Amino acid sequence: MIASRPITLLPGISILIALALQETAIPAASWNVLRPDLVIICLFYWRMYRPDLCGPLLAFGTGLLLDVIYTTPMGLNAFSKTVLVLLIGRYGKIFRALDFIMLLPVIAIFVMLDEMIQGIWIIITNGFAFRWDILAGRPVATVVIMPLMVRALIFLHRSWLEAR
């Protein structure tokens, strides 16, 4: 019973590892436009295949942590990530029925939606200071890195959660 508790924390731990990789291995100063969003990939995967372990509360907490790291207005990433997780939960059965190749445009749309939610808020509060090139560059970079990231998540899922 005690050993099963850390295993159920695996989605949260993998999201934190993705966040650490995103912030340390891919520096924002040099990769601002073509910077993949590893956190959205993890949230997407875990919400689709283990919705009992990845809910809106995990997405909200992850978003708050991103707000602190990025120094964005508190709650901006939290709101956008929570909206994405709720949408994934709503349409998860449809997404699970798709081939992997069809999930690539879906994840690109989710990354664009995340950037648009944040961009609309930035435009409302700060005027037209939003960089529109990020709206196109970040989904492309996320789609390119997604197969490798999903393969790692599938390995974690099968070896840690389903083996026990």
- Under DSSP, the state recorded for 55 is -
Mean pLDDT rounded to a whole number for the chain: 87
Helix axes 38-49, 56-70, angle to 10 degrees: 170
Give the closest residue to 157 by CA, choosing from 4, 52, 2, 7.
Answer: 7
- Mean pLDDT value across residues 37-43: 95
How many domains would you assign to the chain? Answer: 1
Residue 85: which CATH number? 1.10.1760
pLDDT in tens, 62-110: 999 999 988 888 889 999 999 999 999 999 999 999 999 999 999 999 9
Domain that holds residue 115: 4-161
Rounding to the nearest 10 degrees, give the CA dihedral for residues 38, 140, 88, 45.
-40
Percentage of the residues of the chain whose pLDDT score is greater than 70: 89
As a whole number of angstroms, the distance between CA 87 and CA 78 comes to 14
Is the pTM value of this prediction over 0.95?
no
* pLDDT of 41 above 70: yes
Label residue 1 by pLDDT band (50, 70, 90): very low
- Mean pLDDT value across residues 45-68: 93
